[in-house]
Homo-oligomer: A and B are copies of this chain.
């Protein structure tokens, strides 16, 4: 099989703490099945420049693979490339399938979110149309947890673990002086509140934190928010508000934008990266309530803080990578391995494969039943859902006092 059936694997979209663990699962499973493993450098886009790499040499042994699992970012490099439809432009397809043939690729695996699943869905459909034997399998990944068809996505649990840990730490820090204050913590999530909602896990016995959570799914007015904060400040001196970057008003405008502002769109027609909801609300609250306020943004830390990765998340990411290889070797194409939850307590899941077309370009939102009645928080159902996903510590190897990483392929030039 080796040589005649090479596996080609790529990473796409924003990195997560678990995306390299999926790559490790692909690599070790493919090797165990006797296949060669080639990596796309910078995703599908890199293929247009023949940026291929033989991972069999790059990842020499089990120590490399272990380091890979604990290294943040996307080891192979990534891209945000939107493949046109063959009707729009067939040339990319011809170029890619020619390259697949030349490199004797039998399976193409792509680790990514719903945009990347669109790419693999199109390639799969084109391959079927052209009678190609190549199998195309997606591997789910996104800290946003907004993929349909799977209980949750690899990357989400680790991001949630970092977010909840940091919100708990910041909450305690913000209570240190004897004065009324409000802290706004800005969390990623342009259209869904899965990440902001995960901050609910920061609460411990006797310590509710954060006090309020603003989700894109549950618009609020500034007036209602500030009235609620004012009420809380009668009962406590320090209020913590977790703010989704996509928090919005009932009229649909974002807290981060001026009421008349226009928003830039990225290559996929999505809103470009936002920033500013927490700063805006901190300024407004200080003005209206006359209290000290602070805005904290987690920025990219929430997707790259591998030192606090969830062991559950890394293990599931690895398993999905391996299962994608097995699905391809069983002849499946246009599918994606997914997670089905059996029970919350004990936490039990099973893996299955789903049709990729049912996943691509769709966006799963936080169910309304999981949003608190006041619209500024999540329910115990959300907490029961999210809690198992942050279980277990994936302690990295510390060298000279710091987590050690594998040498990035993307480093330097």
Contact = CB atoms under 8 A, between A and B. Distances in A.
Given A170-B300, A407-B207, A413 B73 contact: no
A361 interface: no
B202 A166 contact: no
A193 interface: no
Given A73-B173, A73-B175, A173-B303, A401 B407 contact: no
A297 B300 contact: no
Contact of A202 (B299, B391, B402): B402
A206 interface: yes
Contacts of A172: 71-73, 304, 405, 408, 410
Contacts of A410: 172, 175-176, 178, 238
Interface in A340-392: 387, 390-392
Given A78-B177, A398-B393, A301 B169 contact: yes
24 contacts: A14-B176, A15-B173, A15-B176, A46-B178, A72-B169, A73-B176, A77-B175, A77-B176, A79-B178, A161-B402, A166-B301, A168-B402, A169-B301, A169-B305, A169-B306, A175-B411, A178-B410, A204-B402, A238-B410, A238-B411, A294-B300, A296-B299, A391-B400, A393-B398
A74 interface: yes
A277 B41 CA distance: 34
A259 interface: no
- Count class of interface residues, chain A: 35 or more
Nearest to A166: B301
Nearest to A202: B402
A45 interface: yes
A165 B307 contact: yes
Nearest to A209: B411
A165 B407 CA distance: 15
A310 interface: yes
A108 interface: no
A413 to B, nearest CB: 6
A236 to B, nearest CB: 5
A326 interface: no
Contacts of A252: none
Interface of A: 14-15, 41-42, 45-46, 71-74, 77-80, 161, 164-166, 168-170, 172-178, 201-202, 204-207, 235-238, 294, 296-297, 299-301, 303-308, 310, 387, 390-393, 395, 398-405, 407-408, 410-413
Contacts of A77: 175-178
A178 B71 contact: no
B310 A401 contact: yes
Top 3 nearest A-B pairs by Cβ distance?
Answer: A390-B401, A73-B172, A173-B304
A247 B42 CA distance: 35
A387 B411 contact: no
B413 A237 contact: yes
A402 B300 CA distance: 20
A202 to B, nearest CB: 7
Contacts of A238: 410-411
A390 B399 CA distance: 11
Q: Of residues A204, A306, A395, which shows the largest number of chain B Cβ atoms within 10 Å of its Cβ?
A: A204
A401 B201 contact: yes
A288 B22 CA distance: 39
A290 to B, nearest CB: 17
Contacts of A398: 393
Contact of A387 (B173, B201, B400): B400
A97 to B, nearest CB: 22
Given A401-B161, A408-B172, A411-B207, A177 B80 contact: yes
